Amino acid sequence: MDFTPDDSVALYDEMYRWDGAANASDRFYDLLVMAAESVLDIGCGTGMMLHQAREQGHTGRLVGLEPDLPSLRRARRRTDVEWVEGAASDASRWHGEFDLATMASNAFQCLVTDKELRASLAAVHGALRPGGRFAFETRNPAARAWESWNPAVVHTIAGNGWDLRQWHEVRSVTEDLVTFTETTATPDGMVLSVDATTLRFLDEARLDAFLAEAGFAIERREGDWQGGPVTDASRSLVTVARRA
């Protein structure tokens, strides 16, 4: 059985369907996006959030920035949004143009080195108009999410033409970097793909130091999607930062 990168991103959409009515995290972003005249979605993936915003009647400027070509190909199925190939640091091509920048679904954790983080935050800051907001979430290292990423936990994806199994395995944990693989297989165990990813788990103090250095002020910091405070048990550090 052939399982192409295009199949892989279609599967992502199936598993993580954007739905502001059902998911508090999607609703958090939807409210911000619908209230902003111009939006830059960084690491937009397959473009689900911006597709949905247009669908819901957003009439302003919507731009998706994404380095992964299969994801971008899928995003481009909708042509009434601007789609740009590039990493977060490539946001340096825009100057003072956006009311809102977003990095949804933990895309921020893909910024793994200090150099990449600094270049990305400087670029996002420059792309926003003064007073513009940058909204994103990153998993809270105190909650140690990676400890549940093990092959014993097998996810079944069945229905809508799919019948697959998927599991994760942590390969290394080095300081604040976690490298893991995601394996996709048929129900009888034939492996179709193994993809490795490294994510950075910044704690609140380090995160805020990077944001301050780039010229951002924290407007909101929450530990969940209901507006609760950050505790050691919080799974996410949800942030709305403002370009000072």
Ligand X SMILES: C[S@@+](CC[C@H](N)C(=O)[O-])C[C@H]1O[C@@H](n2cnc3c(N)ncnc32)[C@H](O)[C@@H]1O
SS3 54: helix
Which residue's CB is nearer to ligand X, number 5 or number 67?
A: 67
User: Residue 71 interacts with ligand X (CB under 6 A)?
Assistant: yes
Q: Give helix 48-55 / helix 24-34 axis angle, nearest 10°.
A: 60
Question: Nearest 5 degrees, angle CA 138-CA 118-CA 172?
Answer: 50
> Cβ closer to ligand X: 38 or 102?
102
Q: What Cα–Cα distance (Å) separates residue 14 from each residue in 117, 159, 161, 162?
A: 30, 10, 10, 9
The reply to whether 48 sits near ligand X by the rule CB under 6 A is: yes
- Residue nearer to ligand X on the CB measure, 117 or 164: 117
| Segment interacting with ligand X (CB under 6 A) among 106-114, 123-131, 160-168, 174-182 | 106-114
Q: List all residues 6 or more positions away from 73 whose beta carbon is below 8 Å from its beta carbon.
A: 6, 9
Binding to ligand X by residue 110, rule CB under 6 A? yes
Could you tell me the smallest distance in angstroms from the CB atom of residue 195 to ligand X?
11
User: Which residues lie closer than 8 Å to 58 by C-beta, 6 or more apart?
Assistant: 33, 34, 39
Please identify which residue in 53, 104, 117, 124 interacts with ligand X, judged by CB under 6 A. 104
How far, in Å, CA of 230 to CA of 235, rounded? 9
Task: Count interface residues toward ligand X (CB under 6 A).
Answer: 19
- Binding to ligand X by residue 43, rule CB under 6 A? yes
Residue 107 touching ligand X (CB under 6 A): yes
Other Cβ atoms less than 10 A from the Cβ of 177: the count is 14
Residue number of the CB closest to ligand X reads 45
**Interacting residues with ligand X (CB under 6 A):** 16, 42-45, 48-49, 66-68, 71, 87-88, 104-107, 110-111
